[in-house]
Each structure stands twice: as C-alpha cells, then as structure tokens.
Chain A
Amino acid sequence: MIQVIDFHKTYRDTVAVAGLSFEVLPGQVLGLLGPNGAGKTTTMRAICGIIPPTQGRLIVAGHDVIADPVSAKRELAYVPDDPKLFDALTVWEHLQFTASAYRVPDFEPAATALLDRFELAEQRNKLAQELSRGMRQKVAICCAYLHNPKAVLLDEPLTGLDPRGIRTMKESVRQRAASGAAFVVSSHLLALVQDLCTHLLILHRGQRLFFGATEQARAAFADLKSDASLEELFFRATEAPEAQPVPVTMNSPT
C-alpha cells in the first residue's frame, strides 16, 4: 500500500534522509521511531506529497506520489503533529469540507458516527478556535478517517488526548488496519508503538537502522535479551549505530 524506494532528501548541505526503502502492506501498522531530527516527519511529508524527494520513488496505493499526486493523495490521510484547524469553521464544517475535497457522497451518517465515537457530538457546532488541544486532535483524526483512506499517516497521534480518547484512537487504528488500511505511526511514546504496531522502522540521522516485524526486532540485535523492551531496543539501535552489525531486516521491497 505504501512503498518507499531509495528515498533521499537533501537540504543544501544537510542530508535529512539517505537511501530509505521500506513498504507497508494493507493491514500493517508501521511504527516510525527515531531521535529528534532523524527524518521521521520529512519521510511522512514526502509520502503525503508535501515535499518532493531529492531522489527516489514514493508509491501510495499503486500511484506514484510525484507523477500522479492527486490520485495518490485521494487514497491517503495525514494527521500532523499538533494539527491546525480553520479557526472560523465549526467542527461539522471541517467534516463538510473534507467530504467535499475527497468527494465522499452522503457523508453525514459517517461523519456523525465519527463524532460520536470520538466524543465530539456536543462540540459539533463549536468553532475550532474554541476547542481544546485534545479536541482539535480528535477533529483532525475524524477528518482523516472520513473518506476511508487506504493509507493513514499519523504523527504523534495521542498528544493531547485524554485516556478515553487514547483508547478510542488505538481501537480505531486496529479496526481500520484489520479492514485493510496501512498505517504509519510516528511517535516517541514507545509504549504506544509496542502496543499498536506490527512493524518497526527505526531511523537515525536519515538512515534506516532497522525495518521489520516488531517481534523480530530483538533478534536483529544479537546482544539484546529475548524479553528486552522496545525502549531497550531503541536505545541499543540508536546509540553508537555505526558500531553495530548490520541488522537483519524483513519484508524489504525489491
């Protein structure tokens, strides 16, 4: 569903991402991990067609993001970190616009169901500027889900959510993945990633340190215990990465 082939992104003299390749199949939830400045957001923005790659190909649901961006974008949804809403629009109007942009026919029942699920029904007619941080996050998520995208990219999706919102968010990811959507979730909350993600992609200074199924991540680093936590794995992978053996990777795209 999402294929990234030899993706490079360079800004003047700075290499943000170098030779990154991975894929996310339908039903998979890829956890995108890495220290600050590793290239996570750059990668997600490139997949969404917001920034062009310096080199490489990005394919979403069979459509090349550079050659056919509109078709690719119709199949995906992106929720950035701290999403900004249109201050003068109400919650419902955000969904109305999204339905129009993605040509979702008869969107009202689906939109109402999303608002109920994310406990936004009472805020339906509130202006975006009146919402709390967590409510804005939920509105952005509802807008992302409205057109049933095949690929969903979430950057720190739990920031600002209350415990119920966190549970609803996680359940929604599992359900949509089970229905065939591909997810990429970027987060510093390793507990979330451990709980939710079927695969991991660990970046460091724009380079791929590990890509593969979560349960095989520990095996990739020989000196890790079999019951090592994701946190231990992360620190093992990102500290002195140049001194590590090349890890085993799975499901690399050909």
Chain B
Amino acid sequence: MPPGLLTLLHLQFKGLLRRTLLSLRTLRGIIFSSIGLLLFVFWALPSVLSLRHGRTDPALVRTFTPIILLVVCVISLITSGGDKAVAFTPAEVGFLFPGPFTRRQLLGYKLIKSFVGAAASGAFLSLLFLRHCASWPAAFVGLLLSMMFAQLFAMTVMLVGQGVGERLYTRGRKLIVGAIIAAVGVTAWPHLKHGMPENPTDLAAQLRNSPAGRILLLPLEPFGRTMTAPTAVQILQWSSLAAVVDLVLLLVVMWLDVNYLEAAVTGSQKLYDRIQRARRGGVAAIAAPKAGRLRLPAFPWLAGAGPTGWRQLTSALRSSRGMLFLLFILAISVGPLLVAARNQAQAAGLVLGLAAWTTVIMAGTMRFDFRGDLDQMDLLKSLPLPPAAVAAGELFAPVLIMTFAHEALIVAAAFRLRSHREILLAGAALSPLFNLLLFALENLLFLYFPTRIGPASPGDFQNFGRQIVMFLLKFILMALAGGVAAAAAMLTWFLTRSLPLTIAAAAAVLLIESLCLIPLMAIAYDRFDPSTDTPT
C-alpha cells in the first residue's frame, strides 16, 4: 500500500474524530450527544444483560444467519447491473484517480476503508446483537466478517460484471438469481400452500436442510457459527473459516484487475447525485427525476398555494417512482397477506402494523415539502406569494400521497375485515386530516430546527440524539393532538352513540388543530433566514 493512501486513510480518520469532538464544543452538541449515548446504553443494556439469561437459541441464529446472507447476495446480484460500480467519493475520484496509484492499490484503499468502517459498526452492533450471540468477541468477529463478506461479494459481482461485458453478465446473473429463487421456491412451496406457517423458524430450517439449501448455504455457515461459538477456540476455528471465505472473495477482486475506473467515475457521480437528492428530498427522492409523459395540469391559484402544490406534487411523482411503486406493491400485496392470515385478529394486526409502518417511514422519508426545499429557500422567499399560501402549498403533495397509501391499505383490508369495516371507514375518513396534522407538525418543527439528512457514522451520538429528541417531540405533540381528537370522539360517542357524529367530531378537532398549525408554519417560514438557518 503506497504511503500516500495510508496517509489519506490516517488523515480521514483524524478528520472524523475531529468532527465528532468539534460537535461537543457547543451546549446543544453536548446535550444531543449525551442523549444519544444514554439512549444507546438503554438500547444495548438488555442485550448485555441477556448474557446471563434470556439469550436467543443459538440454533436460531445458525439457521437464520446464512439465509440472511444469502438474501444479501441475491439482492447484490439483482441490483448490480446497469450503472453500478465500485463507489468512490467525488474527492477520491478527483485526487486518487489521476494520482500515481494502480487500480489494485485503489481497491486496497477502498477495502481498508470498508474494513475500518465495518469494525466501527461491528463494535456498536455487537452490543445490540449480544443477546443473539455467545459472547461479545463472537458477536464482534462474526458481524465484522459478515459485513466484510457482504461488501466483498457486492464488489466481486460488480467487477465481474464489468469484466465480462454487460450482455453476458446480465444473462448470467438472471440465470443465477432465477436458479436460487427456483430452489428456494421448490423447497418452500409444500409448506406455504396451506397458508403461512405458525413458526417461520421451521420453514427456515427446512430450507437450510434441503439439498439446494445445503449447497447454497454451505459457504455462509461459518458466519452464524462464529457468532454462536461458545469458546475462544471455536470462535477462532469458525472465524478462520469465515475469514477464508472473505479472503477468497478478496483474492478474486484483486486477481480480476478489471479496469473499473471509468465505470467508477460515472457510478460514483450518480451515487453522489443520489445522496444529494436524498439530502434534499429524503429517501423517496433518491431516483433521478424523469419527465416522461407525466405532466400534471396547472393547479388553480388558490390564493397562491396552487403553484407550490403543483411543483411539489410534480417533483414527487417524477422523483419517487420507487416509492410509489413500493406503495402500489404494498396496496396490492396486503390483500394476499390478509387472505393468508389465519383469523381476523391476525389480519387486523397486519393492517395496523402496515399502517403504522407506512406512516412512520414515509413521513420521514418523503420530504416533498419545506424539508426538501432547504436549498431553494432563497428562491421561495423571493416569490410574490404570501407565506401562508406557500405553507399550505407545501403540505399538499405529502398529505395527498400519504392519504393515498392509507386509503389503498384500508380498501384492501375492508374485504377481509368484515367485522371491523366501520372502524376502517372511520380511518378512511380521518386519514386526510390526520396526515395534514402530521405533516404540518413535521414542517413546523423543521422550520424551527432545520437539519439535513447526512451519512451517519458509527459513534455519531449527536446525530442519533438529535433524531431521537425530534422524534420524541413529534410523537408527544402528535399524541397530544390525537388525544384531544380522541377525547372529543369519545365524548360524542358517549352522548350520541352515533358513528357518523363521532367521526365528525374527531374530524373537526383534527381540522382545527391543523388549521392552527398552518399560520404557525407561515410565521416560521417568514422568519427563516437562509443565510443563517440553512445547515451545512
């Protein structure tokens, strides 16, 4: 490894430490970091205490770990085509690619960086996963080797793809993925055709012990075995085997010596662009927007809210193909899941779980509102639009999309949950107002405490602490607002025993709460100073 690359690694590590320590020089930094650290300790404590009792059955870990790694491999194969490449940061492309380094040296640099990152992540994750492992060393070593396996496998398939040519590679990986899915499907079908099994562990064990499973999972066995190895000698034995698997992949990567630089330049730039889009619009905006045939008609003026609403909805529809596709899949797949559920209670649980997941995940990832307009605040504030109109317009797209997700879920559930249809109808009626309240609150808090989505590094307790504090604040405020609406609904029901009036009472409270937040949003937006309030 040339000294220049070692120097760079050393300087980058030093820079990361410095950034972490700098954040502790402000009171807010200390508070958020302390909260983050405290929460991490609370999160890890049960796992650490489980060393004495309450540990997961090692057989479960040995069963599931290879299957999880196999799924990771299949995902790598599926997603490795097209413009995927070994990713370097723009600065690395600019300095290292024209620099006096060979391709292998740059790969070595990349892998060392990945190893250090995996070691840091492994140190934290090993505490969280301790209950599933025999000891901390077993957890750490097993996780580290597993993460390196995932990285090396992804790198290998990318380099093989670039080496053999796109057409041949695409055909090859389709064959391999198809063969794996067919093997899993043939093994699993006899157990699935009568409905979902009570215990998925049995299904996993069947897969693992099938002839196809044994062949596919054999090289992945040492990773789970390492994590559950009860003695130091066994940790050493199994980790050595796992390390051999990693080493084989490393040797393949180095031996190939594919000229990946050109693909890496393009791929890295696209990855960088995706990260920048995600920092602006959340995970939902990662895909590059494409105009396509989609052209929304112009919205009516609506006191100035129309243009903003049109812009955000157009951006959402053009940038979030992946998210919208996921929503569509969710909506049509919930039906078979509900059919497969054994009883109404299980079905109701599925619906509630899915609704909660969509709301929590999508509210945070779908930032087609002020949160995604952080870099356009200069432009927004220069427009001749009243702040309240801008605030209302910014809420249109996320509320509409989230409501669509909820309604699709509810409609799908209504076919199955016959005895719960009235509750589902109430949910359908209240969903738009609930979402309006949710996103109004999200945006109000954002305007007062603007943040950017950034890459998290292990040990970034300040970022973790800040996210937890904001999440708790949102949760408390939503709970309060929702509580008032629920109280009004309960009172109305008690007095009238009429479902429509009960729903109307809850809706009225939610509407009043939402309408009160919009002027607050307008004030916060009006006060927002892009020169000082925009985070880096």
Contacts and interface: CB of A to CB of B under 8 A. Distances in A.
Contacts of A85: 91, 94
A88 B16 contact: yes
Contacts of A50: 93, 97-98, 261-262, 265
Nearest to B7: A100
Nearest to B272: A84
Contacts, number: 95
B19 interface: yes
A96 B7 contact: yes
B81 to A, nearest CB: 15
A180 interface: no
A50 B262 CA distance: 6
Interface stretch (A29-37, A75-83, A203-211, A242-250): A75-83
A127 B5 CA distance: 20
Interface stretch (B99-107, B318-326, B377-385): B99-107
A101 B7 contact: yes
A235 interface: no
Q: Could you say which of B93, B100, B101 has the most chain A C-beta atoms within 10 Å of its C-beta?
A: B100
A28 to B, nearest CB: 20
A51 B262 contact: yes
A97 B8 contact: yes
Given A73-B98, A88-B16, A52 B8 contact: no
Chain A interface residue bracket vs B = 35 or more
A84 B276 CA distance: 14
Contacts of B11: 86, 89, 93, 96-97
A86 B262 CA distance: 21
B100 A97 contact: no
A47 B100 CA distance: 13
A93 B100 contact: no
A45 interface: yes
B261 A51 contact: yes
Interface string B72-108: 0000000000000000011101111111111000000
Contacts of B483: none
A100 B100 CA distance: 11
B346 interface: no
A96 B14 CA distance: 13
Interface in B16-64: 16, 18-19
A168 to B, nearest CB: 21
A50 B101 CA distance: 11
B12 interface: yes
A48 B97 contact: yes
A7 to B, nearest CB: 15
Contacts of A86: 8, 11-12, 15, 89, 91, 95
Contacts of A76: 98
Contact of A100 (B3, B89, B94, B262): B3
Query: Main SS of the interface on chain B?
Result: helix
A70 B259 CA distance: 14
A124 interface: no
Contacts of B90: 84
A143 interface: yes
Contacts of A103: 3-4
B94 A83 contact: yes
Nearest to A52: B259
Q: Most chain-A Cβ atoms within 10 A of its Cβ — which of B8, B16, B95, B98? A: B98
A188 interface: no
Nearest to B265: A50
B532 interface: no
A14 to B, nearest CB: 13
A175 interface: no
Interface in B297-350: none
A56 interface: no
A140 interface: yes
Given A88-B18, A100-B3, A52 B262 contact: yes
A246 to B, nearest CB: 32
Nearest to A101: B4
A80 B14 CA distance: 26
B536 interface: yes
Interface in A101-136: 101-103, 127-129
A165 interface: no
A49 interface: yes
B265 to A, nearest CB: 6
Interface in A19-75: 45, 48-52, 69-71, 73-74
Contacts of B211: none
Contact of B100 (A83, A84, A101, A140): A101
A87 B91 contact: yes
Contact of B4 (A52, A78, A102): A102
Contacts of B94: 80, 83-85, 140
B19 to A, nearest CB: 6
A151 to B, nearest CB: 11
B530 interface: no
A73 B15 contact: no
A50 to B, nearest CB: 5
A231 to B, nearest CB: 30
A101 B91 contact: no
Contacts of A129: 536
Interface of B: 2-8, 11-12, 14-16, 18-19, 89-91, 93-102, 259, 261-262, 265, 536
20 contacts: A48-B97, A49-B261, A50-B97, A50-B261, A50-B265, A51-B262, A52-B261, A73-B101, A85-B91, A85-B94, A86-B8, A86-B12, A86-B91, A88-B16, A96-B7, A100-B4, A101-B8, A101-B96, A101-B101, A127-B15
Query: 3 closest A-B pairs (Cβ-Cβ)?
Result: A101-B4, A88-B15, A84-B90
Given A49-B261, A52-B261, A86-B12, 15 more contacts: A49-B97, A49-B98, A50-B97, A50-B98, A50-B262, A51-B265, A76-B98, A85-B91, A88-B16, A88-B19, A97-B4, A100-B3, A100-B4, A101-B100, A140-B94
